[in-house]
Amino acid sequence: MRLPRLRFIVLIAMVAATLATLGWWVWGPSGVFVELTRRSWRMEIVVERLRTETGSDWCDEMPEGAYDVKRRVIADPTGVRTEPGEHCRYELLAWRRSWIVKSEGGPGDRPEWPRPPLRVAPPGQPGGERLGRREAYFEIELRDRADHAWICRVDPARWRQLREGMSFRMPVDRFGTANCPAMVESRI
């Protein structure tokens, strides 16, 4: 009789341990402890170049600024227009992304926008360049005790407050994706 009773006690202990583990996983503190190991910033500007592009459309729907227009009368292959109409091939000047210039640094460097040299062309001629969209990134690198690393973007004011060596508790899902906005400072 002692053997079945021992099995019952072992079974109850295993169920209790499993329930305790699941309870800790579901209701225990979320996230992992991480330490801030690096702060960096990056400023990027898209440089656009004025290019000549070709296009075709119905002449009454042609974009403004089109030139070197060649017209012909055709039936609409889609069937939207019931009568044959004028279809145009044209050229057009358009600003398109050409390259991205960036400057980057760390906490000891002053964040500054890059100043790239731009090509100059006569007005209305292709080849000229201009500055386009600007993006500023203030990032921190966080590492856990197992040396897993995450990069989180923060706003500039928060970035200036943070220091290397600070500890945080950060939620990380089962796929290893960190929830940076939910990061909470921790006193380990």
The pLDDT value recorded for residue 48 is: 97
Q: How far apart are CA 44 and CA 99, in angstroms?
A: 10
The whole-number average pLDDT for the span 59-87 is 91
Global pTM value: 0.68
- State the chain's mean pLDDT as an integer: 89
pLDDT in tens, 139-170: 999 999 988 999 999 999 999 999 999 998 88
Q: Facing residues of 103 across strands?
A: 43
Question: E strands within the chain?
Answer: 32-58, 67-74, 85-105, 129-144, 149-153, 167-170, 184-185
Residue-range domain boundaries for the chain: 29-185
pLDDT digits (tens, 9 = 90+) for 5-64: 788 888 888 988 888 777 766 665 567 889 999 999 999 999 999 999 999 999 999 999
- Which of 172 and 70 is assigned the larger pLDDT? 70
Is it the case that residue 177 has pLDDT exceeding 60?
A: yes
Q: Which residue has the tokens 């002692």?
A: 2
